[in-house]
């Protein structure tokens, strides 16, 4: 098992997250026919055909609207491409059918329920592996096509979703997609701050902790932005947000010292900071602390001026956050190209 698998299985173990992925990112008509209120985790242990044990904690079942029948949703999180993904998923699906058949052996149900295989991929390169069984594409397959299994799976290639599209999605899945897409600590903390606000209710404490664990181990530790000792005492997204803001103040202070040594126009920058924060507070009804920290520590007059122009164009703070994320990405690209 990949080290990261446990974090993904934990996140996909919440019905709100699964429902949001299906409704916001699976572009198929059947999704509208599902009763998301009936989502039930169908995790379990089954044995695939090659006799290797398979623990799958991300199999869900959901009822069709107005019916007592279920659809099973099998979620497979992938960071790399697998040329044999179709065969693997067919193997897992067959094992699931066999297990369900054993459970229902004494019932009147004789038809296996449909299974929807969903691959959630967040690798750097676009997914290029065919989503159907390769055996059906062979030169000789046409002679025996009726005897070959017809099977395919659905791929959600997260890093090919435009960031402004992800930011406009209403569900919880968009928060995780944007966390995975974050290209810098500053951009990550903007999304973390939004997660804190969206998951403030006690009913979401489990999802809050699951996303916090992902940010800590997959982002901060993996990119050497924190030590295990620093993160050991952090349990939730608020703790992650506070830690990252403290770290960014330190990073910005170091960069500011370098900027002052290069003779940056401090007066212009300070004025732009003050005007931007004031407008967000009075014109857009408030300002997230994460945005306030980024503005207060930015020494890029051009970026601040651009953000002020964007702030004048939007109607509320939620529409401004994607503009802030875009400005951070553009600034990061500018530094890398310098």
- What averages of pLDDT result for each successive group of 10 residues across the chain (338 residues)? 72 96 97 97 60 61 94 94 94 89 60 92 93 84 86 96 91 95 84 92 96 93 86 93 83 58 58 78 74 80 81 79 78 58
Instruction: Give the model's pLDDT for residue 279.
Output: 75
Tell me: do 171 and 153 sit in the same domain.
Answer: no
Tell me the β-bridge partners of 53. Answer: 47
Instruction: Give the model's pLDDT for residue 122.
Output: 92
Number of structural domains found in the chain: 2
Tell me: do 150 and 252 sit in the same domain.
Answer: no
Alpha-carbon torsion (54, 33, 156, 16), positive or negative: negative
Note the helical H segments in the chain: 5-11, 15-25, 85-103, 163-168, 172-181, 185-198, 205-214, 228-231, 237-261, 266-283, 289-296, 301-313, 317-337
Q: What single DSSP character describes residue 46? A: E
Tell me: do 107 and 228 sit in the same domain.
Answer: no
Query: How many CA atoms, within 13 angstroms, populate the side-chain half-sphere of residue 181?
Result: 24
CA-wise closest residue to 9 among 47, 34, 38, 43: 43
Strands 44-47, 53-56: pairing kind: antiparallel
Last residue of a domain, one of 160, 192, 210: 160
Instruction: Give the model's pLDDT for residue 280.
Output: 80
Other CB atoms within 10 Å distance of the CB of residue 100: 20
Tell me: do 309 and 181 sit in the same domain.
Answer: yes
Q: Are 61 and 35 in contact (CB under 8 A)?
A: no
Tell me: do 66 and 183 sit in the same domain.
Answer: no
Q: At what angle do helices 185-198 and 172-181 cross, to 10 degrees?
A: 170
Last residue of a domain, one of 100, 125, 160: 160
Tell me: do 217 and 316 sit in the same domain.
Answer: yes
**Domain extent for 243:** 163-337
Q: Are 272 and 301 in contact (CB under 8 A)?
A: yes
Other CB atoms within 10 Å distance of the CB of residue 273: 19
Other CB atoms within 10 Å distance of the CB of residue 311: 20
Tell me: do 297 and 190 sit in the same domain.
Answer: yes
Tell me: do 198 and 327 sit in the same domain.
Answer: yes
Tell me: do 126 and 194 sit in the same domain.
Answer: no
Tell me: do 209 and 297 sit in the same domain.
Answer: yes
Distance CA 64, CA 243 (A): 44
Instruction: Give the model's pLDDT for residue 310.
Output: 81
Alpha-carbon torsion (100, 105, 106, 112), positive or negative: positive
Instruction: Give the model's pLDDT for residue 78.
Output: 92
Q: Are 139 and 93 in contact (CB under 8 A)?
A: no
Tell me: do 94 and 189 sit in the same domain.
Answer: no
Q: Are 311 and 320 in contact (CB under 8 A)?
A: yes
Instruction: Give the model's pLDDT for residue 315.
Output: 77
Tell me: do 197 and 307 sit in the same domain.
Answer: yes
């Amino acid at each position: 098992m990949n080290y990261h698998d446990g974090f993904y299985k934990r996140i996909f173990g919440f019905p709100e997250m699964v429902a949001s992925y299906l409704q916001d990112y699976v572009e198929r008509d059947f999704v509208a026919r599902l009763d998301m209120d009936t989502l039930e985790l169908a995790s379990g242990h089954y044995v695939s055909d090659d006799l290797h044990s398979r623990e799958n904690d991300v199999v869900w079942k959901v009822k069709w609207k107005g019916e007592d029948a279920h659809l099973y949703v099998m979620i497979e999180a992938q960071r790399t491409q697998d040329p044999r993904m179709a065969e693997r998923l067919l193997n897992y699906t067959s094992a699931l059918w066999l297990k369900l058949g054993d459970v229902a052996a004494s019932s009147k149900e004789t038809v296996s329920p449909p299974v929807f295989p969903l691959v959630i991929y967040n690798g750097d390169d676009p997914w290029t592996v065919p989503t159907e069984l390769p055996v059906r594409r062979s030169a000789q397959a046409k002679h025996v096509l009726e005897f070959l299994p017809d099977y395919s799976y659905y791929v959600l290639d997260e890093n090919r979703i435009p960031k402004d599209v992800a930011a406009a999605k209403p569900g919880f899945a968009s928060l995780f997609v944007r966390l995975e897409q974050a290209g810098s600590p500053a951009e990550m903390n903007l999304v973390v701050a939004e997660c804190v606000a969206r998951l403030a209710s006690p009913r979401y404490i489990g999802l809050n902790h699951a996303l916090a664990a992902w940010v800590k181990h997959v982002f901060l530790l993996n990119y050497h932005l924190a030590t295990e000792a620093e993160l050991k005492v952090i349990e939730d997204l608020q703790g992650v947000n506070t830690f990252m803001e403290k770290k960014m103040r330190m990073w910005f202070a170091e960069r500011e010292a370098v900027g002052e040594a290069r003779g940056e126009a401090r007066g212009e920058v300070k004025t732009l900071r003050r005007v931007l924060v004031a407008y967000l507070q009075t014109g857009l009804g408030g300002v997230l602390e994460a945005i306030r920290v980024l503005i207060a520590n930015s020494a890029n007059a051009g970026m601040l001026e651009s953000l002020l122009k964007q702030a004048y164009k939007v109607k509320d703070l939620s529409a401004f956050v994607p503009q802030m994320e875009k400005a951070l990405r553009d600034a990061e690209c500018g530094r890398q190209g310098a």
